[in-house]
Amino acid sequence: MSKKDKEEKTNIQELLDKAKESFKNCFTGLGNSPEAKLEKISSGIDVFDKVIGGGLIRGRLHLFSGGFGSGKTYITQKIIEMAQKDKGICVYIDAEKRFDPAWFQLTGVDINNLIISRPNYGEEALDLVIFYLKQNVDVIVIDSLAALVPMQESEDSMEQQSIGLQSRMLNKAFRKITPLNNKTVLIAINQQRQEIGTVFNRGIQKRMPGGEGQYYYASLIVDIRRGEWIKQDNNRVGHEINCVVTKCNFHPPFGNAIIPLRYDTGQIDNISMIVNLALDYSIINKKGAWYYIEGEEQPKQGFEEVSQFYKDNPEKFQVLKDKVLIL
């Protein structure tokens, strides 16, 4: 190390010491310090973790938006399940009053160790979030931002206008929440609304209710849509959850994950999920109704036959899974 490098290192250390002395209540350190390391909580869904960089970052706001019945809440349930497996404390703020103990339990959530809060109005919900953040819980789910009604609006009569109240409330909350969140995975579910006043835009424009601030404060935004139905004997037994990452500050965005959910088990069809991804990466080739699997002389006819093949050969499925997730 040259003399100049040593002087620069000394100057950095002196500056760091002075900053720590002057600002004792805030974190000050180098980029390689343990406090600056990004800690993650896995969703337990392989393809979803792949497109978001391995899991959800602690200390950040994550937004899941989409239409009704698309699977937004289900993905948060799987995240809660994974956090609980590591003895994490999880909170579900049920603004929509849609908590179903039987369904949550079926999907793997330990409802005996899940804190449920049902606020009466928006400000109370956001005060609850701030309270739990100060207790350093592991996961907080707000379901949903669209259901958070400002207290003034809830007390006003129906004919009174309340334009902008919700946006101002949420933006104030995000400003307070951001510096307070040290280790919590904060997930806010939101809905989609058709944007009005877009005279010169030809397509249907959709936005999340609650103002523009949420787009800037969120580190991850995932657009979740309901995909194709999963059918068995002409009955709908599930659907595909189509996830598109529209913003991600810690991984390349615009990744896509297709998650097949079955209603009867409350679980994900992992084989179908990995096979779909293998088709996207051309690891499995499809020509018409025939699927060509590497190492197999005879092609398989139809998606169900491919799935059955991997169910009967778990060791070959593990090889396929490892190959897909590395890419």
CATH number, residue 302: 3.30.250.10
Domain termination site, one of 268, 284, 305: 268
pLDDT of residue 209: 87
| Residue where a domain terminates, one of 250, 268, 286 | 268
**What is the β-pairing status of strands 284-287 and 290-293?**
antiparallel
Q: Where are the beta strands (DSSP E) in 144-234?
A: 185-190, 193-194, 206-207, 220-232
Which pair of structure tokens corresponds to residue 208?
A: 């999340």
Residues of the chain with pLDDT under 50: none
CB neighbour list of residue 266: distance below 8 Å, 6 or more residues apart: 103, 106, 107, 108
> Residues 6 or more apart from 147 whose CB is under 8 A from it?
95, 96
Residue at 33 is within a domain:
no
Of 270, 283, 209, 266, which Cα lies nearest the Cα of 49? 270
CATH of residue 185's domain is: 3.40.50.300
Instruction: List, in sequence order, every residue forming a beta bridge with 142; answer none if it has no partner.
Output: 93, 188
| Residue 113 belongs to a domain | yes
Answer whether residue 141 is part of any domain: yes
Q: Determine, yes or no, domain membership for 21.
A: no
| Stated pTM of the model | 0.90
Same domain, 237 and 313: no
- Cβ neighbours, 10 Å, residue 62: 22
Are 183 and 82 contained in the same domain? yes
Torsion, Cα of 219, 225, 231, 236 (10° steps): 110
Element (H, E) at 139: strand 139-143
Contact 62, 188 (CB under 8 A): yes
Q: Is the residue at 106 inside a domain?
A: yes
Is 23 a domain residue?
no
CB 89 within 8 A of CB 115: yes
Answer yes or no: are the C-beta atoms of 53 and 248 closer than 8 Å: yes
Together in a domain, 309 and 176? no
Q: How many domains, the chain?
A: 2
Closest by Cα among 135, 96, 138 to 114: 138
Mark which of 220, 235, 268 sits at the end of a domain: 268
Q: Cβ distance 178 to 61 under 8 Å?
A: yes
Question: Tell me, what's the pLDDT at 90?
Answer: 98
Residue 108, burial from CB neighbour count under 10 angstroms (0-12, 13-18, 19+): middle
196 lies in the same domain as 310: no
In a domain, 13, yes or no: no
| Three-state DSSP state, 87 | coil
Instruction: Give yes or no: residues 201 and 291 share one domain.
Output: no
Fill in the amino acid letter for 193: R
pLDDT given at position 206: 77
How many Å apart are CA 275 and CA 175, to the nearest integer?
A: 42
Angle at 33 between CA 29 and CA 36, to 5 degrees: 85
Domain of residue 185, residue span: 38-268
Nearest by Cα to 41 from 70, 75, 64, 71 = 75
Is the domain of 55 the same as that of 194?
yes
Looking at the structure, tell me whether residues 123 and 248 fall in a common domain.
yes
Say yes or no: 211 and 277 in one domain. no
CA pseudo-torsion sign 75, 78, 82, 87: positive
| Together in a domain, 52 and 154 | yes
Whether residue 170 is found in the same domain as residue 47: yes
Could you tell me if residue 202 is inside a domain?
A: yes
How confident is the model at residue 327, as a pLDDT? 72
What is the pLDDT at residue 7? 56
Judging by DSSP bridges, how do beta strands 256-262 and 284-287 pair with one another?
unpaired
Do 176 and 60 share a structural domain? yes
Shared domain check, 181 and 275 = no
**pLDDT of res. 194:** 77
Q: How does pLDDT run across 291-323, given as a tens digit for each residue?
A: 999 888 899 999 889 999 999 999 999 999 999
